Chains A and B, each alone.
Chain A
Amino acid sequence: MSLLQVRELRTEFQLEDAVARAVDGVSFDVARGETLAVVGESGSGKSVAALSIMRLVPPPGGTTGGEVLLAGRNLLSLREREMRRVRGAEIGMIFQEPMSCLNPLLTVGEQVAETVRLHRGLGRSAAWRHAEEMLARVNIPEPRRRAADYPHHLSGGMRQRVMIAIALACSPPLLIADEPTTALDVTIQAQILELMRALQSELGMGMLFITHDLGVVAQVADRVAVMYAGRVVEQGTVGEVFARPLHPYTRALLRAIPRAGERRDPARLLPAIPGQVPSAAALPPGCAFAPRCALATAQCRAAVPPEEAAGPGRLVRCIRWREA
């Protein structure tokens, strides 16, 4: 059984005059020791899906259906008090902005210690020692001195390391990383990804890695789920999906990656996907990608295509995938 099983997850935002279906029947699994990357552009619902797993979707949003099974237990049916014990202890979470993720008034040591004190009931000094150990584990130099520093003393990369230390302080079996490297420059990004990979294999945890960067997906993930307008349109191992994308959207995304060293006719632009992502409050009745898809037929526009198995562990939501 997988560590995390998300089944038909639905999260909606109740707007004044409409309902925005941010996550619309999303299913995926994350096994222990495995990394599943969820890719999609802004507004595709990937972050809301992560928040739904944590049950932290801000109002007026709410999860209206589906199951989130963590080691077989449905998180959506827990009481808030029980859910609080899951957050931080069984699921760690890292966010995008290392600059605003830390409380400016607490030392980083206190912030790492806070989690273990909360979940493990450690005393002040034991928690502090644990915090120093965690800072050492995320390769922060001079962890003892840094523990007494305030967040503004640290660079963005160091703060993200602190965030990782906080998220992993209780050794959670699952880590959710919501665009953890987007705000960092490329060299620091590589270091952080390397660190996360090392810690993952050390702790054997499952990782749900949310990003919009296909390059990052190739570096960290075992499997990938491509999201578009609140639905997973394609799922499979990174190798398969990158080598043989089945959904037109995935193909268009991969074509839009510039490649280093490639000789390019300057007059020819990088291929882009025409049109725009539909609003989550006004999704077309059929396939959400149909308005931008060259292969779309009347049937595509009539009904949402079902998720079809296209091989072991390979799912695609397109009625014409066989033609790919």
Chain B
Amino acid sequence: MRHSIRGFGTSVSATLAAAAPRHVSPARLLLRRLVRRKLVLLSLLVLALVFAAAAAAPWVAPYAPQRMDILHRLAAPSALHWFGSDDFGRDVLSRCLWGARTSLTVGLLVVVIAGLAGTALGVAAGYLRRLDGVLMRVTDAMMAFPDILLAIALMAALGASAANVVIALGVVYTPRVARVARGGTLVLRELQFVEAAEALGAGGRRIMLVHLLPNLLSALLVQCTFLFAASILTEAGLSFLGAGVPPTVPTWGNMIAAAQQYMDRAQWLILAPGLCIVLTVLALQVVGDGLRDALDPKLRRIR
């Protein structure tokens, strides 16, 4: 069959609606199918909690993130400082909450930038054969570098700031999205509805926007979830290496970087931000997997 590559050629609403009565919206069906798996449900709850905490940080954080309390340096977790305090006596819980804001914002912006740029480049490369060779050789070249190495090089050129981290990671991850978008476009382009649209006089822009892009969205959605996780990790890695967000701004990576000197005395300094990273990234990966299964027509019958 021509729809041999999973997930392409069928689509979110088509695969979902095919199995369901008409009046249920595709989004609700997708959600229903997602939460059927307990681990996915749990991960969604974790993500909701992390996002809520990040959004509400200014109101729920017990202290200001930069407030120093020299008398209580490196304090162990207690009722006063739930996750302890760091070498300047700053509250670790408050800094984790504020750090979530930075990490999630950076991650989201990277997803938006790489998602948009990668999709545009990938669809263009897949549909316009003349562009394909050039664009794909450039992405190959970029993907030949390890993520973090390329990001460090870009940061060295751009200078340390949160905005530059977003730009650097956006550049690093654009080829990944482009690859997926191009692959999907190549599959879709051979399907007859694209040929039929051409035979009806539709131009290239129309084919790409109306016929190709919507049919790619489910695959791109899954990819973007994984990308979100990857950019949170790489951002933390950059901050840890001192090549990311300036150390004055609380981020999970910065906190771990600062904490490593006190590893023998104050393990909680590493534990709290480390757990934040692990839980968030893990939850995103599980949700990504769940999304892929929920959107895949071939796996639909597995309950």
Among the 9-residue stretches A85-93, A232-240, A305-313, the one with 4 or more Cβ atoms under 8 Å from chain B is: A85-93
Name which of B11, B129, B199, B214 has the most chain A CB atoms within 10 A of its CB. Answer: B199
Is A152 a contact partner of B17 (Cβ separation < 8 A)?
Answer: yes
Residues of B within 8 A of A151 (CB): 14
Is A100 a contact partner of B2 (Cβ separation < 8 A)?
Answer: yes
Is B196 a contact partner of A101 (Cβ separation < 8 A)?
Answer: yes
Residues of B within 8 A of A84 (CB): 201-203
Name which of B192, B193, B210 has the most chain A CB atoms within 10 A of its CB. Answer: B193
- By secondary structure, the B interface counts as helix
Residues of A within 8 A of B197 (CB): 103, 114
B10 within 8 A of A: yes
Is B201 a contact partner of A56 (Cβ separation < 8 A)?
Answer: no
Residues of B within 8 A of A86 (CB): 201
Is B13 a contact partner of A118 (Cβ separation < 8 A)?
Answer: no
Is A152 a contact partner of B200 (Cβ separation < 8 A)?
Answer: no
A163 within 8 A of B: yes
Residues of B within 8 A of A150 (CB): 13-14, 17
Contact of B201 (CB < 8 Å), options: A89, A97, A102, A106: A89
Instruction: Determine the distance from Cα of A119 to Cα of B206 in the docked complex, in whole angstroms.
Output: 13
B72 within 8 A of A: no
Is A118 a contact partner of B10 (Cβ separation < 8 A)?
Answer: no
Q: How far is the CB of B21 from chain A (nearest CB, A)?
A: 12
Is A104 a contact partner of B199 (Cβ separation < 8 A)?
Answer: no
Is B14 a contact partner of A95 (Cβ separation < 8 A)?
Answer: no
> B214's closest neighbor in chain A, by CB?
A105
Residues of B within 8 A of A101 (CB): 192-193, 196
Q: How far is the CB of B49 from chain A (nearest CB, A)?
A: 34
Residues of B within 8 A of A104 (CB): 9-11, 13-14, 193, 215
Name which of A54, A93, A95, A100 has the most chain B CB atoms within 10 A of its CB. Answer: A100
Is B11 a contact partner of A163 (Cβ separation < 8 A)?
Answer: no
Contact of A105 (CB < 8 Å), options: B13, B198, B199, B202: B13
- Given A150-B17, A152-B17, answer yes or no on A103-B193 (Cβ-Cβ < 8 Å): yes
A59 within 8 A of B: yes
Q: How far is the CB of A38 from chain B (nearest CB, A)?
A: 17
Bin chain A's interface residue count.
20 to 34
Is B2 a contact partner of A105 (Cβ separation < 8 A)?
Answer: no
Residues of B within 8 A of A97 (CB): 192
Is A105 a contact partner of B201 (Cβ separation < 8 A)?
Answer: no
Q: How far is the CB of A189 from chain B (nearest CB, A)?
A: 18
Name which of A96, A101, A106 has the most chain B CB atoms within 10 A of its CB. Answer: A101
Is A87 a contact partner of B198 (Cβ separation < 8 A)?
Answer: yes
Contact of A114 (CB < 8 Å), options: B17, B199, B200: B200
B191 within 8 A of A: yes
Instruction: Determine the distance from Cα of A151 to Cα of B215 in the docked complex, in whole angstroms.
Output: 14
- Given A100-B2, A103-B211, answer yes or no on A88-B200 (Cβ-Cβ < 8 Å): yes
Contact mask for chain B residues 96-140; partner A; CB cutoff 8 A; 1 contact, 0 none: 000000000000000000000000000000000100000000000
Q: How far is the CB of B11 from chain A (nearest CB, A)?
A: 5
Contact of A56 (CB < 8 Å), options: B3, B17, B195, B211: B195
Q: How far is the CB of B199 from chain A (nearest CB, A)?
A: 4
Question: Which residue numbers of B lie inside 8 Å of A, CB to CB?
Answer: 2-3, 9-11, 13-14, 17-18, 129, 191-193, 195-203, 206, 210-211, 214-215
A-B contacts, 9 of them at CB < 8 A, read A92-B200, A95-B192, A103-B211, A104-B13, A104-B193, A104-B215, A118-B201, A166-B196, A167-B200
Question: Which residue numbers of A lie inside 8 Å of B, CB to CB?
Answer: 54, 56, 59, 84-89, 92-93, 95-97, 100-106, 114-115, 118-119, 150-152, 163, 166-167
Taking A95-B192, A106-B210 as known contacts, 16 extra A-B pairs with beta carbons closer than 8 A to each other, sorted by chain A number, are A85-B201, A88-B199, A88-B202, A89-B201, A93-B200, A96-B192, A102-B196, A103-B197, A104-B9, A104-B11, A104-B215, A105-B11, A105-B13, A118-B200, A118-B202, A150-B13
- Per CB-CB distance, the 7 closest pairs between chain A and chain B, nearest first, are A88-B201, A88-B200, A87-B201, A104-B14, A93-B199, A100-B192, A101-B192
